Amino acid sequence: MATKKKKKTDWSKEVFKVLKKADIRQIAYVPDAGHTSLIKMAVADNAIKPVSLTSEQEGIAVLSGAWLGGEAGALLMQSSGVGNVINMLGMANECRFPLLMLVTMRGEWGEFNPWQVPMGQATETVLDAAGVIIHRADDPAEIAETVEAAAKIAFDSGRMVAVLIGQRVVGFKDWTK
């Protein structure tokens, strides 16, 4: 159990380093257990403005504004939130705003809550339909490099990119127990 926990913190630390290297200044989020460490690091970092959202669609809008104002940002959310962003992605697509989304997956590997399954299973399909480039990471060792590659496509090539962090990585602990 202790090793599992350490593993989780480690990938978050590496990902945070990658976000810092990409000069990310705004981190918008709707919490997910899998993003707990990243959110804590974002809040503790003086150069990063953390923005807690009521809904993921606000995140697409705030990151679009970040870019318009000359800064880079990232959106942290759970796969269930992907359904909330689709229409707003139309704006980012039309304007070619760079978007970096880190999505922790639910509704796939060993899911215990049946309500999570429909959106989790639809996540890749709907992001693809909305024109988002999708990178998946199912091994903790490859998450940081995947985020680094995604940040490059997002900010250097001006594209919408989502990194889907598999539920196999995040784990399927029942947080209610």
Partner 1 sequence: MAISYKLQRRKVVHQILKERGDAAVITGIGNAVHDVASFNDDPKNMYLAGVMGGASMVAFGIALAQPKRRVLVITGDGELLAGVGSLATIGVEQPKNMSIIVIDNQAYGATGNQHTHTGSGVDLVGIAAASGFKKTALITTQAELESELPKIHSEPGPYFAVVKVTNKSSPRIDAPRDGTYVARRFRAAVTGESM
- Binds partner 1 by CB under 8 A, chosen from 54, 174, 175, 177: 54
Work out how close the CB of 5 gets to partner 1 at its nearest, in angstroms, rounded to a whole number. 30
The verdict on 30 binding partner 1 (CB under 8 A) reads: no
> 22 to each of 40, 139, 155, 158, how far by Cα in Å?
18, 22, 9, 14
For partner 1, which residue of 32, 58, 108, 124 counts as binding (CB under 8 A)? 58
User: Tokens for 2?
Assistant: 């202790």
- For residue 109, the SS3 value is coil
- For partner 1, the binding residue among 11, 16, 67, 155 (CB under 8 A) is 67
Which is closer to partner 1, CB of 8 or CB of 35? 35
Which one of 37, 45, 62, 149 is in contact with partner 1 (CB under 8 A)? Answer: 62
Strand bridging mode 99-104 / 133-137: unpaired
27 strand-pairing partners: 50, 74
Nearer to partner 1, 43 or 117 (CB): 43
- Helical (H) or strand (E) element with 141: helix 140-157
Non-local CB neighbours of 49 within 8 Å, separated by 6+ positions: 25, 26, 27
Q: Does 81 help bind partner 1 (rule: CB under 8 A)? A: no
Binding status of residue 51 toward partner 1 by CB under 8 A: yes
Task: Please report, as ranges, the residues that interact with partner 1 according to CB under 8 A.
Answer: 25-26, 49, 51-55, 57-58, 60-71, 73, 87-88, 90-91, 94-97
